[in-house]
Amino acid sequence: MVAQCRKWISDCFGNHEVCRQRVGAIENWLPTRLLDTGSPSEPPSVRLVISTNLNAARTSYLALSHCWGKLEIIILRLSTLDEFQEGIPLAALPRTFQHAVVMTRALGYRYLWIDSLCIIQDSSDDWQYEATLMGEVYGQADCVLAATGSKDGNGGLFQEREPQLFAPFEVGAKFVFHNETYLCIRKEFWERELANAPLNQRGWVVQERMLSPRTLQFGKNQIFWQCREVEACETLPKEIPQDFIYFGDRDGDGFKRWMQPDSGARSIALGPYDPWGHVVEVYTRTLLTKSQDKLIAISGIARKMSLTLDDVYLAGLWRNNLINGLLWKVNMGEQIDGSPSRRTTVYRAPTWSWASIDGMVTQVLDSDLYGDDLVSILDASTDPVGSDEYGQLKGGRITLEGIVKLIRKPSFFYFSGNDISGTYHPDDYHLSQNMDECYILPLRYHRIARFFEDELWGLVIRPIRSIPNGFERVGLFQVNEEEDICNVGNLKGGDTKGNYGLTDSEERRIIHLL
């Protein structure tokens, strides 16, 4: 097992040019603190070291990705900072950490990064600072050890298993003129072992997976290897055929390739911002222990994406793609656990941002949108809690000019049909049930080739009484040309004679979305 892991790492460093390229990488960068697992000639030990005392040019490290779970684990505190630099008893570490130390040594490395032992957990200042570096920590690590199959620190990297149950098996087939032997394996093993594994349900893990150049995923039944050129596993150690690999829902590893300049995987996404839309979809199908971490836990990817796009980040959206970015919707109004989506009561992001909602978000592809004459963005900004525009926010607004029309309160949510005008997708089901006045704001036309008819998409908004011309988003609408935009989500009331019920002389207003 260890020999195969070392071979994957060696092959990657020796032969994969793409994996050696790192977008926005800082030369000779190290995390603030690392764990020293001891000299190769000595038994394994653990000691916290301050990285400024190391030779950065000659120091490589691994990082651990794991589930905290409900288990009480040893953590770094202000009171133990000096003590941990003297040493941490190996026996005091949970099983997953012990295995990570052993694996670090077995792979020929000395230094390891573990969040709970390298970030001072009872210092909000240290946590806030280190949270901004998460993208670098995982992106600069030589390899990430992921405790994929473990729900907490007791699960470990190494699982009890029966490899023969998952090994490929041969099936012989007789044809009229010849015989063939086929190697068979369960096609859904990638989804079952990785996409739906305990670790990959955690929100913080999305950027840990996507930004790390190399990852060893220790699953329940076998080890998987992922880098920017190859996916492999113990069952298929050379390479897993792409037909087996699942890049939807919680599985975001295709982003490893999208991040690279001139990557062939970019053909998967038809527009420069489409990879970000995929990241949002993956991320909003995971769970966060602390709701306020919604923007912080994805900030590492956002920083890297800003370098690729050369754009300004605004609460989970991008300035130069802001109109398209507003066209997100909550998939059937649900969170990942099946409960109704909801807008948080404690401020987290402006209502126009998907980060203001707990729910499974879907983002439409840019390549399917057109029409620049419906709305004009006049200004857009966010107000961060501190100095980090990628982190926690205390405000944000978009000032725009567009068509704003009073509509009937929608009666039907999520569904369309012959008797209903368009489809209304509320952000928060209960909020939409109780609102008394709402308006529509058309944004873009959506091309639907399979039906040979286009739709008009936009926002449903409601006024904020305390702010002149202030509105908040409550949902998204879509209507076809023969439906009345002012009747979206209600029973049809007659023929609109085309053009979505709009006239050529619709009044445009300047409003503020908050």
pLDDT tens track for 336-368: 889 999 999 899 999 999 999 999 999 888 888
The one-character DSSP state at 195 is: I
Spatial CA neighbour of 340 closest among 362, 357, 364, 328:
357
Pick from 14-23, 441-450, 486-495: least confident: 486-495
* pLDDT of residue 466 exceeding 80: yes
Is there a contact between 235 and 193 (Cβ–Cβ < 8 Å)?
no
Is there a contact between 101 and 233 (Cβ–Cβ < 8 Å)?
no
- The Cα 289–Cα 69 span in angstroms is 9
Is there a contact between 144 and 62 (Cβ–Cβ < 8 Å)?
yes
Crossing angle of helices 299-309/274-283, nearest 10°? 170
Spatial CA neighbour of 276 closest among 330, 227, 243, 314:
314
Q: Delimit the domains of the chain by residue range.
A: 2-265, 366-513
Is there a contact between 170 and 184 (Cβ–Cβ < 8 Å)?
yes
Tell me the torsion sign for CA atoms 398, 403, 404, 409: negative
In this prediction, residue 497 carries a pLDDT of: 61
Beta carbons within 8 Å of 289's beta carbon, 6+ residues apart: 68
Tell me the torsion sign for CA atoms 3, 8, 13, 14: positive
What φ, ψ does residue 218 adopt, rounded to 5°? Answer: -90, 90
Q: In the structure encoding, which two tokens stand for residue 463, read together?
A: 């006024």
Residue range 201-245, pLDDT digits in tens: 899 999 998 889 999 999 988 899 999 888 898 888 998 877 776
* pLDDT of residue 19 exceeding 80: yes
Residue range 276-334, pLDDT digits in tens: 988 999 899 999 988 999 999 999 999 989 988 999 999 999 999 999 999 999 988 88
* pLDDT of residue 510 exceeding 90: yes
In this prediction, residue 249 carries a pLDDT of: 43
The number of C-alpha atoms within 13 Å of 190 and in the hemisphere containing its C-beta is 22
Residue range 80-98, pLDDT digits in tens: 999 999 999 999 999 999 9
Residue range 264-275, pLDDT digits in tens: 444 444 678 988
Residue range 110-146, pLDDT digits in tens: 999 999 999 999 999 999 999 999 989 999 999 999 9
Q: How far is CA 406 from the centre of its chain?
A: 35
In this prediction, residue 496 carries a pLDDT of: 61
* pLDDT of residue 77 exceeding 60: yes
* pLDDT of residue 378 exceeding 90: yes
- The Cα 145–Cα 216 span in angstroms is 5
What value does the mean pLDDT of the chain take?
A: 87
Spatial CA neighbour of 316 closest among 345, 343, 336, 294:
294
In this prediction, residue 191 carries a pLDDT of: 76
458 — pLDDT class (breaks 50, 70, 90): very high
Which amino acid is it at 108?
G
- The Cα 5–Cα 1 span in angstroms is 6
252 — pLDDT class (breaks 50, 70, 90): very low
Identify the H or E element spanning 322. helix 322-325
Crossing angle of helices 95-106/2-15, nearest 10°? 60
In this prediction, residue 70 carries a pLDDT of: 83
Q: What is the pTM of this model?
A: 0.89
Q: What is the mean pLDDT of residues 63-88?
A: 93
Tell me the torsion sign for CA atoms 72, 75, 80, 85: positive
In this prediction, residue 236 carries a pLDDT of: 86
* pLDDT of residue 372 exceeding 80: yes
* pLDDT of residue 473 exceeding 60: yes
In this prediction, residue 387 carries a pLDDT of: 87
Q: What is the mean pLDDT of residues 363-392?
A: 91
- The Cα 383–Cα 119 span in angstroms is 26
